[in-house]
Structure 1
Amino acid sequence: MRAVVYTSSGPSAVLSLVEREPATPGPGQVGVRIAVSGVNPTDWKARNGSTRRGDFTEVVPNQDGAGIIDAIGEGVAGLAVGDRVWLYLAQHEQAGGTAQEYVILPAARAVRLPEGIDFAVGASLGVPAITAHRALTVHEHGPARLSPGSLAGRVVLVAGGAGAVGHAAIQLARWAGATVIATVSSGTKATLARAAGAHHVFDYTRGDLAEKVNEVAPGGVDQFVEVSIAANADVNAALAANHAVIAFYADNGGDTFTAAVRPGFAKNLRFQGLLLYTVGADALAAAAEDISAALADDALPVGEDAGLPLTWYSLEDTAAAHDAVQSGVVGKVLIRVADL
């Protein structure tokens, strides 16, 4: 089989295409033929050494993907050979990610794709969708699970509404019944956030963002999905409703943040960090189940018409795919591994 690998950290030039023998799944594992591999910022960061990749001599990159189960290890229940699945955190705690034709991974990381949902959608989920789910389920007085109506009456603000996490957060919050506000940095991105389903979209580079948000949410924002806490902590605190939670998942814009003290305690605010690699198995399983329910309701489409443009590469061009994500290409970068 073909696999993209790297043996040392560095720029995308460390990636190479090699031939490897497919492995056999062990107890609790499944073997999956990969159709599409998804690329996230975490993938190039792990490759270049910005984040720890584990003590492996050879690594296949990319956490997310979609394909067909080809083999089942001992003790696996609920999955069968021939099942179409989406994958998440495929490379977490192991060396084999989805930038290869065949991957072995824990069965818990393979989730059935509902009928009619294609591999491009499945490969676009994973890290972005689970991150969005977690951000929407950490409110002290909010739901721990998402379903239609579970966020009814709540106002959710999604920062970076044209990004992959922002896109998933808009879709999941809308599916769950929230009023969704998205912030973006351009008119093009505003169009994408509206296509994803945001009720209100504001360009934070133009005019007074707080004034605009207050006009549509005079009672304050209940939940924030925040990509740049260093830049937005103070404005979030000013816009927050009592007991609001500001869930942040990235360090875009700075390594540290400060926030005004008085709004923080006066509004009983909570700043909630989240990282999928340490969030725990229960949270991951809950997210996978709820995301699958949203998929069955056709609530998570991708493509430009749905607010998430897709940029495709071949497996041979995985390095270019990593570079595209690192350069900040808008939308989702996917790698077509095989026609299944």
Structure 2
Amino acid sequence: MSNAIKTNRMRCKAAIVTCSLLSFLVYLAVCDQLLSTPDAIVQEVGWKSYHMFTILANMFAGIAAALCIPYAVDGLRYNNYHLPRWVVNVLFTATTGVALTFLIAITILSPMTSYYRMMLYSNNILFHTINPIIAILLFIFINSDHKVSFRATFLAIAPVVLYAAFYFVLVFVIGEENGGWRDHYQIRDITQYVPLPLVVLGMVLITFVVALLLRTVHNRVHEKRKKQTVSYYQSAGDFDCPDIASAIKALAARNRSRDLGGELIVPRRILAMMEEKYQSGLPLGELCKIYVDAYYKKEVKGQ
């Protein structure tokens, strides 16, 4: 059990540090962009910064990372770091967005200008390089609590589809002269060679492929971590009790001794892993009841 707890606490600390760092770097980069002056390449500064997908994708990634911090803090308190599925899906969607900006910047935009200008110059080093890399590593190696479903891949491409729709309306329908957006991605120039529907379809397909790749790697890491965690709990000697009820009571006593007055959290995943070790045949609901009863019994004795 100690190996499982140690690994869990390491993940909590890594998540707190990495999520906080990413959120701070996004905040720093966005503030810098808001205060920047326009140049020959980028004219979308100040409030116009929000016209660019790169800015919006980075902001989404920063918000998604911040969502994980409370769960990581609770994980340190209860030795049970676990993200809800919806948070993992939000992370997946946000990571897909910044991964797309990283890919486009390094393969298309950099050759058009220079790699230094796109990947390293000023706040581009944050928007195009550091933030996407941190977000990708965070999603794959730290916040891999759930297996991402194939359906979630369609959710991951939703921001690109929505942005494309807004861009089309504000650039092509309304136009800059009527209060719309400037064609800062020079789509009109591209449509001289490629029809607009194919441009949009191409971007959606690229985003879909990026999402599939992220999902594949994430799920492989998830499965590997899950097997490792199960093996930890099945071979644990900390609660080497004669039966599962005694082991659960020992777990409840340990967690209660660390309680700082927070809300009771029933570690259902851990109980399920312990059941695989003891093979008692008891349903998960009964195991949870044993845990809750033992937890509050300990509380009464301590009062």
TM-score range, shorter chain: under 0.3
Larger fraction in strand: 1
Q: What is the TM-score with the length of structure 1 in the denominator?
A: 0.22
**Greater C-alpha Rg:** 2
Give the TM-score normalised by structure 2: 0.24
